[in-house]
């Protein structure tokens, strides 16, 4: 069964996170005990450490534009997973420009109010930073 409305909701939540510029804004749809793995290597449980880390990260940016290059969604009645390939174009406050390809997995669960909330997020930059963003499928 396809849950089109849920798919649109989850994709829009992920898109909103890519446009956020603060920890509070980034975590507004997170469960209180969300588990988060980020780059550079960082892991946290709960919203407070994520907000602190995100605010610290955003303070090092003069600008940050993130584009979603590819999206896959997997949804059941109360669990949803959104996997994205993202391109981050960052200008640091010291003027250094960086372009990174990121892989991100966002896992959602419906709460007691039947609203989607993020329970786990994992973002990674492939080792060596030489990955071209392609996804290998059975047809390749």
pTM: 0.89
Mean pLDDT of 48-66: 94
Q: Where are the beta strands (DSSP E) in the chain?
A: 30-38, 42-45, 61-75, 79-92, 97-110, 116-124
SS3 content of the chain, % helix, strand, coil (to 5): 25, 45, 30
In the structure, what pLDDT confidence band is assigned to residue 126 with cuts at 50, 70 and 90? confident
The pLDDT value recorded for residue 10 is 97
Residue 18 clears pLDDT 80, i.e. is over it: yes
Walk me through the domains of the chain, giving residue ranges and CATH numbers: 4-128 (3.10.450.50)
- Residue 48 pLDDT > 70: yes
């Amino acid at each position: 069964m396809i849950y089109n409305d849920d798919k649109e909701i989850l994709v829009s939540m992920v898109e909103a996170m890519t446009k956020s510029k603060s920890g509070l804004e980034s975590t507004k749809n997170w469960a209180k005990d969300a588990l988060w793995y980020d780059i550079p290597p960082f892991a946290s449980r709960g919203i407070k450490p994520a907000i602190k880390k995100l605010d610290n990260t955003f303070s090092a940016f003069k600008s940050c534009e993130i584009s979603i290059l590819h999206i896959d969604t997997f949804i059941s009645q109360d669990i949803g997973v959104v996997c994205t390939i993202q391109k981050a174009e960052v200008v640091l406050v010291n003027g250094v420009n960086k372009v990174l390809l990121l892989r991100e997995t966002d896992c959602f669960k419906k709460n007691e109010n039947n609203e989607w909330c993020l329970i786990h997020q994992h973002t990674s930059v492939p080792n060596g930073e030489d990955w071209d963003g392609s996804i290998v499928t059975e047809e390749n």
